[in-house]
């Protein structure tokens, strides 16, 4: 924390700020500059987190210069962390490919999707049972009926299951079917859900909120890790901007930024960012080239008749060709797929 | 729904689209223009909500032109709706003033806040018991211990209680203490919570998500109303933009837009938008001048020592002066306060 | 400027940074904290403006904490500045009302607009002769033929002329017809234009760029003032955000922020922000209530047949009624109109 | 253009709209739907560009469904266009690598940069002579003294010269030294400049404005092409969003969107998007993987002492290694470098 005093601040103002900090148990370093005085705060500044220092006479502004997350920071585990999902890994040398439909719709559909995903060489099957939908009149998923179908399809093809969790009340029941919980963008700051996920042992795929900064996203990961669950993978899926040509704007630079700031693996979701099947291949390859640890793609055997997110789902054969391209560029990144 | 065909689309493409729609039970009107053919879709288009028509050969794009909310729309109740909170109203001629601290911190604090709020002539006391916080290491509220204090303070000064609800699991317990639930920005699309609120009888103050469009906000209101609870008030509290001078950017024009599109009352929250006490008065008066039905302001007897959101809370005397100014401009808007 | 060292930084790293700064003629104050060392930089930091201090070993980040504008800052003229346009003022007790069409289209049109604007009690007539248009196929204005018409219409009703300047090449010729140049949002960072405007004596109305922060806007004002022309008025006209219900999002809080940071007057343009005539009244009153020094509104005698920006222009009688409302709320703000 | 009527619109309202359009020389197709009537407009709608149809009684909204650019559209040249810069090409099979410093600072600096750029196998040297800077107190470039140095350095290593043009007044003089003009983000809507560039024969690299949609960007390209200069290359360099971890947010999906909508080549500028040297490699590879026709990277022999944009410039050896990586992934994209 650094405090910038106004140009018009008096010696007395500066002394009062120092006194205020001293009473909170903090030390100060005072630098008198040409234009203004700067006060560096020394000690455990967490007690100042909510103190409006700008309200003290003579204070221009207080500038926090440290991040609030610790367990999720790169400094905490400089070598980086690998997430273990059963015998599979995300964040190791091998790139993680996750595919599957937006929603589980029927036994036939999910088995066909699983077959295609496995044929592409992917190791993870995604599929939503509980669907958060913008309008109350849209299809809301098969809910508890969808999970066993998803599990059976994955098992039939030797895949791990990734599925969205939308309420802390469902952790126990849904946890019996999935290998990895996915927290959707809308729930990235559902702190009660995050806290409960920190207390369970199942790995978590944490999507970035569409209006969340990278630091807020890492704060959200910190909620899970603070409970003891370090098996967290981040997923960049596009942020909301003024551009309407795509559903969201994939923040591709979040990949190297996360690699620099955090010890957690990060994957990219091209489907929700693009909102359009035609752009999936470009975004997937871009994600891998930027250094992501994998991708999660919506794959549906019959997108034209999908009950949700139809425009952005690709067919199994397109996913297969994409996986092949990823295998070809992986070595340039020092990876394999 | 209107479908724009590509310039290169053939007669056969157009016929195939018409056939596709016919099989869904929909009619078409085909307009052959100079540059391209347009197909207007007739009938209940809800079955197309998730159909990627762009995947049909020759289709350039499909443009939805109707909103997905109905109960929340202006057309559904052209005269507008008044929300009843006990014997108080929001959305009638009288402007609603809601004040109180970010969080209930102690008996003394909340009683002092309530006294100040009542002295300003306001009729509603706000105060958080359960606080969603960005970092897991921040103060999380007094939780279930805060609610009785809030109720007692409000009763002592004849005020209605507004408090945030952060989980469907708390509706029953928290509902015993509050007159109106507040849904925070982070939970605007917590659809399970919205659905349960639709089934209860307590009025709901629905804050806009920081990255939500006005139409998505009205879709969220629709979730509550679809359950039978029409006592909903919208609250504009700032959206996230590139500007960092303020915590968020108050979308003041949301007020007339909501008045045009929806039948629901709308109030303005200057505190969370500004993030700084010095801007509260300007934003409050602007909100009322723009046509809002009231304001909700963070008022704390001792902001310097508040445990959360300290920088943006004002003192009771400032709230009192603000209420006085609002009373003076209200008649220009055809209102009273 | 404050430099935050990495947790892993060594004594030697800190010494090297101090040495580097010393060679640039700067002093340092070093604060060793619990988690990290902070280096405060003392002296004229302008020589560091482009130095990537983060590239020095052990440096986590460099945080600039002073603004780059001086003449435009509140500290430079704490009492605030009034802009003089002939015998009229913007920024004094009297609110400035500016009205007129998007573009000068014909003698009849501009005289009728001027009559309406004067009848409302406004003292300034706006009208574009040179129009920057997004598409090359749109109406580009009457160009040099429009200016004399605008001047004559203004003179006939005793009004001052405000018109957009789009190139430094036009300053001399256009300057013969106008009382105040307007710099449009797209040219806010056309630095050659700004520099030349700094050298002329005509007041400048500087619109905010749609993606410019308030500080960048004040930097742009600084360009003009650095040349000696202090007669600058800022105009908030909406920024670009994700919301599409309005053409842009009026950043109403920019009004109190500018009042705090700068000595320049600020007015609000509701027309370009809203993009729709129906919202003009709400935004105008909100602007005045927030503390703006005036408004600039698009007023056209026949909006249905306007050649540009038709949807957002209001008729003279609506402008007249609006001026009346502004007169009624002005006293609450300590103003008159 | 499609016009959606209000639910409450009468037959008379619909007839009046049809009559209004007929008087403009336009035909209509009227579709009476369950909820509302839709009017499709037939004919040359350019005459409606500025008509506020929403002001006609009963009209809910008018939805434009065609883009305003033609020459820049994919439909106009479905096979795509290659830009010729002397004997070099951008947009062909070979990827274009452009490197060089933010600004020309001295003979020694630009020659050393050129040597490094050529050594990497790049064919284009960039360097700014006229620098648009946010603050009037920052280094503004060597201006006319910089151009001959840039030309000589490029010639010494057989490179083409790319340099920014900031005013239509400089086209003739600067045109004697450069092979390709660069239009910076701030000038993307400087329509006078664009128009004059359309009249000259020198190829143009058109950067996207930080708040411009892809369609507005293509409209800007249309300005140049409408004058007869088809040698235009687009450059994605990041847009402004709420995220502050990077200088801007690289809109990587703009690459496939532009490929779909336009016939123009597109390259990516990782330097301005990232604002930090450490992220350049990731963004460059991502750009190529997404399908871009090349990259433009800031390369400086001594970034620590650069006079502008220092934090985001990389050294020649890093550029060389990057070029090598690009060569390795190019075949996966069907390209070479």
Q: Nearest C-alpha of chain C: how many angstroms from A45? A: 10
Section B219-242 average pLDDT: 96
Residue C34 has pLDDT above 70, yes or no: no
Q: Residue A11 in 3-state DSSP?
A: helix
Task: State the residue for tokens 């996230």.
Answer: B240
| Rounded Cα gap, residues B281 and B326, in angstroms | 10
Indicate the residue of B4, B42, B242 with minimum beta-carbon distance to D31: B42
User: What angle in degrees, to the nearest 10, is found between the helix axes of B107-119 and B316-329?
Assistant: 20
* Torsion sign across C-alpha atoms A67, A71, A75, A80: negative
Q: What is the pLDDT of residue D185?
A: 96
Please report the pLDDT score of residue A21 as a whole number: 87
Give CA separation, A21 vs A1, A14, A41, in Å.
11, 11, 8
Q: Token pair of C304, please?
A: 């249905």
Residue spans of beta strands (DSSP E) within C57-164: 59-63, 83-85, 88-90, 96-100, 124-126, 160-164
Among B38, B42, B244, the residue with its CB nearest the CB of D33 is B42
Token reading at B244:
């960092």
Backbone angles phi, psi at A134, to 5 degrees: -60, -40
Contact check, Cβ <8 Å, D289/A329: yes
Chains that touch A (3 or more CB pairs under 8 A): B, C, D
Examine the pLDDT at B279 and tell me if it is beyond 70: yes
CA distance B324 to chain C (A): 10
Instruction: Tell me: pLDDT of B325 over 90.
Output: yes
pLDDT (0 to 100) of residue A46: 64
Distance from CA of B334 to the nearest CA of A (A): 35
Q: What does the pLDDT look like over B161-178, one tens digit per residue? A: 999 999 999 999 999 999
- The residue whose two tokens read 């997937």 is A284
Distance CA A190, CA A213 (A): 15
Pairing of strands B37-42, B88-90: unpaired
For residue C217, give the chain B residue with the closest CA: B243
The reply to whether residue B190 touches residue A186, judged by beta carbons under 8 angstroms, is yes
- B/D interface, count of CB pairs below 8 Å: 68
Using CA coordinates, name the residue in chain C closest to D222.
C136
* D9 CA: distance to closest CA in chain A (Å): 26
The pLDDT score that the predictor gives to residue B310 is: 73
Whether the CB-CB separation of B44 and B85 falls below 8 Å is answered with no
Size of interface C-D (CB pairs under 8 A): 120
* pLDDT over 80 (residue B195): yes
The whole-angstrom distance between A282's CA and the closest CA on chain D is: 4
CA distance B6 to chain D (A): 9
Q: What six digits make up the tokens of A274?
A: 């693009």
Taking CB atoms and an 8 Å limit, are C65 and A61 in contact across chains?
A: yes
Q: Give the pLDDT score at C45.
A: 67
Q: Is the pLDDT of residue C49 over 90?
A: no
CB contact under 8 A, D255 and A282: yes
Candidate from B227-241, C151-165, D30-44 with smallest mean pLDDT? D30-44
| Residue D326 to residue B296: CA distance in whole angstroms | 55
Contact criterion met (CB < 8 Å) for A55 and B277: yes
User: What is the percent of chain C where pLDDT is above 70?
Assistant: 96
Rounded Cα gap, residues B319 and B98, in angstroms: 10
Residues 47-76 of A with CB under 8 A from C: 61, 63, 65-66, 75
Torsion D238-D239-D240-D245 (CA) sign:
negative
Please state, in angstroms and rounded to a whole number, the distance separating the CA atoms of residues C160 and C167.
21
B47 pLDDT band, cuts 50/70/90, is low
Q: List the chains bordering chain D where 3 or more Cβ pairs fall under 8 Å.
A: A, B, C
Structure confidence by residue, pLDDT tens digits, A289-315:
999 999 999 999 998 878 777 778 899
pLDDT exceeds 70 at position C252: yes
CA distance D81 to A302: 35
Dist CA C337 CA C121 (whole Å): 8
pLDDT of residue B45: 67
Mean pLDDT of chain C: 92
Token pair in block for residue C315: 């008729």
Distance from CA of A187 to the nearest CA of D (A): 19
- CB of D260 closer than 8 Å to CB of D225: no
CA separation for the pair A135, A143 (Å, rounded): 17
Mind giving me the DSSP string for D221-264? HHHHHHTT---EEEEE--B--S--SSSSB-BTTHHHHHHHHBSS
- The pLDDT assigned to B194 comes to 96
- Judging contacts by C-beta atoms under 8 Å, the chain B residues touching residue A304 are 51-52, 55-56
Cβ separation D286–A282 shorter than 8 A: no
Q: What angle separates helix C191-198 from helix C214-226, to the nearest 10 degrees?
A: 40
Which chain B residues have a beta carbon less than 8 Å from that of D34? 42-44
What pLDDT score does A104 carry?
95
**Across the interface, do A169 and B166 touch by the CB < 8 Å criterion?**
no
Contacts of A282 in chain D (CB under 8 A): 252-253, 255-256, 289-291
Tokens standing for residue A122? 């992917």
Kindly report, residue by residue over C197-222, the tens digit of the pLDDT: 999 999 999 999 999 999 999 999 99
Distance from CA of D252 to the nearest CA of A (A): 7
Instruction: Convert chain B into a string of H (helix), E (strand) and C (coil).
Output: CEEEECCCCCHHHHHHHHHHHHHCCCEEEEEECCCCEEEEEECCHHHHCCCCHHHCCCEEEEECCCCCCCCCEHHHCCCCCCEEECCEEECCCECEEEEECCECCCHHHHHHHHHHHHHCCCCEEECECCCCCCCCCCCCCCHHHHHHHHHHHHHHCCCEEEEECCCHHHHHHHHCCCCEEEECHHHCCCHHHHHHHHCCCCCEEEECCCCCCHHHHHHHHHHHHHCCCCCEEEEECCECCCCCCCCCECECCHHHHHHHHECCCEEECHHHHHCCHHHHHHHHHHHHHCCCCEEEEEECCCHHHCCCCHHHCECHHHHHHHHHHHHHHHHHHCCEC
**Looking at residue D45, what is its pLDDT?**
67
Task: Say what the pTM is.
Answer: 0.92
What's the pLDDT score for residue D5? 84
CB-nearest partner of C286 from B243, B257, B289? B289
Interface probe for C, chosen from B209, B211, B243, B324 (most Cβ of C below 10 Å), is B243
Q: Which residues of A touch C2 (CB under 8 A)?
A: 2, 38, 40, 63, 65
At residue D203, the pLDDT reads 98
Question: Which two structure tokens, joined as six digits, stand for A191?
Answer: 């702190």
Asked if the Cβ–Cβ distance from A51 to B132 is below 8 Å, we say no
Measured CA to CA, the distance from residue D132 to residue D128 in angstroms comes to 10
| List of chain B residues whose C-beta atoms are within 8 Å of the C-beta of residue C215 | 245
Contact at CB, D34 and B43, closer than 8 angstroms: yes
Q: Which of A167, A209, A311 sits opposite B54 (nearest CB)?
A: A311
By residue count, chain B amounts to 337
Question: What are D70's two structure tokens?
Answer: 């033609």
- Give A186→chain C minimum CA distance, Å: 17
Widest pairwise Cα distance in chain A: 77
Place of tokens 């950043």: C251
D295 — phi, psi (to 5°)?
Answer: -140, 155
The pLDDT value recorded for residue B34 is 66
Low-confidence ranges of chain D (pLDDT < 50): none
The Cα D225–Cα B49 span in angstroms is 39
Counted across chains A and B, CB pairs separated by less than 8 A come out at 119
Maximum average pLDDT range among A135-144, B55-64, C117-126:
C117-126
- Under an 8 A CB cutoff, do D134 and C219 touch? yes
pLDDT averaged over chain B? 92
Cβ-Cβ contacts under 8 Å for D290 (sequence gap 6 or more): A282, A283, A285, A286, D252, D253, D255, D256, D268
- Report which of B156, B127, B154 is spatially closest to residue B143, judged by C-alpha positions: B127
Residue in B236, B270, B282 to test binding to C, most C beta-carbons within 10 Å: B282
Burial of A103 (0-12, 13-18, 19+ CB in 10 A): buried
Residue A162, token pair as written in the block: 């990734």
* Spatial distance between the Cα atoms of B253 and D169, rounded to a whole number of angstroms: 40
Distance CA D198, CA D228 (A): 6
- Range list of H helices, chain D: 11-23, 107-119, 146-156, 171-175, 191-199, 214-226, 254-261, 270-274, 280-290, 316-329
CA angle at C322 for the pair C316 and C324, rounded to the nearest 5°: 110
C50: pLDDT confidence band, cut at 50, 70 and 90? Answer: low
In this prediction, the residues of chain A whose per-residue pLDDT falls under 50 are none
C32 touches chain A (CB under 8 A): yes
Alpha carbons B60 and D12: distance in angstroms, whole number = 33
Residues 234-293 of A with CB under 8 A from D: 239, 241-246, 249-257, 260-261, 273-274, 278-279, 282-283, 285-291
Q: Which residue of D has its CA nearest to C131?
A: D191
Specify whether the CB–CB gap between C92 and C84 falls below 8 A: no
Measured between CB atoms, which of B29, B31, B65 is closest to D63? B65
Mean pLDDT, residues C30-38 taken together: 75
Indicate the pLDDT class of residue C82, thresholds 50, 70 and 90: very high
Complete DSSP assignment for A56-106: STTEEEEE--S-S-STTBGGGSTT---EEETTEEESSSBPEEEEE-SB---
pLDDT tens digits, residue range A243-288?
Answer: 999 999 999 999 999 999 999 999 999 999 999 899 999 999 999 9
Nearest CA in chain C to A34: C43
Q: Which of A159-173, A205-219, B307-321, C82-96 is the least confident region?
A: B307-321
Task: Give the nearest partner residue to C31 out of A40, A63, A241, using CB atoms.
Answer: A40
D243, D255, D260, best to mutate vs chain A, most A CBs in 10 Å: D243
pLDDT of residue D34: 66
By the CB < 8 Å criterion, does A182 face chain B? no
What pLDDT, on a 0 to 100 scale, did the predictor assign at position D44?
Answer: 67
Other CB atoms within 10 A of residue B10 CB: 12
- Chain B interface includes D35 (CB < 8 A): yes
Contact A142, A103 (CB under 8 A): yes
Q: In a mutagenesis test of the C interface, which of B244, B248, B253 is the best target, namely the one with the most C β-carbons within 10 Å?
A: B253
Residue of A nearest to D215 (CA): A245
Give dist(CA D19, CA C337) in Å, integer: 43
The predicted pLDDT at position A45 comes to 67
Contact C252 B250 (CB under 8 A): yes
> Per-residue DSSP letters for C7-52?
TT--HHHHHHHHHHHHHTT-EEEEEE-SS-EEEEEES-GGGGTT--
Question: CA angle, A133 as apex, A128 and A135 as ends, to 5°?
Answer: 155
Q: Which residue has the higher pLDDT, D4 or B297?
A: B297
- What order do you get walking across the sheet with D59-63 strand by strand? D27-32, D37-42, D2-5, D59-63
D142's CB contacts (< 8 A; 6+ apart) are D103, D104, D105, D129, D149
Neighbouring chains of B at 3+ CB pairs within 8 Å? Answer: A, C, D
């Amino acid at each position: 924390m650094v405090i910038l005093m106004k140009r018009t601040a008096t010696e007395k103002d500066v002394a009062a700020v120092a006194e205020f900090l001293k009473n909170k148990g903090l030390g100060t370093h005072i630098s008198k500059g040409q234009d203004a005085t700067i006060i560096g705060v020394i000690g455990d500044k967490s007690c100042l987190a909510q103190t409006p220092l700008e309200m003290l006479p003579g204070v221009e502004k207080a500038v926090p210069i440290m991040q609030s997350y610790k367990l999720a920071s790169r400094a905490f585990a400089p070598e980086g962390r690998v997430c273990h999902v059963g015998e599979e890994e995300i964040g190791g040398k091998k790139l993680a490919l996750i595919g599957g439909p937006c929603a589980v719709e029927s036994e036939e559909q999910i088995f066909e999707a699983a077959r295609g995903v496995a044929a592409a060489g992917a190791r993870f099957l995604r599929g939503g049972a509980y669907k958060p939908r913008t309008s109350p009149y849209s299809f809301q998923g098969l809910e508890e009926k969808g999970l066993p179908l998803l599990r059976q399809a994955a098992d039939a093809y030797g895949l791990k299951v990734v599925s969205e969790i939308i309420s802390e009340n469902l952790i126990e029941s849904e946890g019996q079917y999935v290998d990895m919980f996915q927290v959707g963008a809308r729930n990235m700051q559902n702190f009660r859900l995050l806290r409960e996920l920190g207390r369970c042992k199942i790995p978590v795929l944490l999507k970035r909120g569409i209006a969340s900064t990278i630091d807020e996203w890492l704060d959200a990961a910190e909620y899970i890790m603070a409970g003891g669950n370090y098996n967290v993978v981040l997923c960049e899926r596009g942020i909301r901007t003024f551009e309407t040509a795509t559903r969201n704007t994939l923040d591709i630079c979040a990949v190297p930024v996360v690699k620099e700031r955090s010890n957690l693996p990060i994957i990219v979701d091209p489907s929700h960012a693009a909102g359009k099947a035609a752009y999936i291949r470009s975004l997937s390859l871009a994600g891998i080239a930027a250094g992501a640890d994998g991708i999660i793609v919506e794959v549906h055997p019959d997108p034209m008749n999908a009950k949700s997110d139809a425009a952005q789902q690709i067919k199994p054969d397109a996913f297969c060709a994409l996986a092949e391209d990823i295998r070809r560029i992986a070595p340039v990144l020092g990876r394999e797929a």
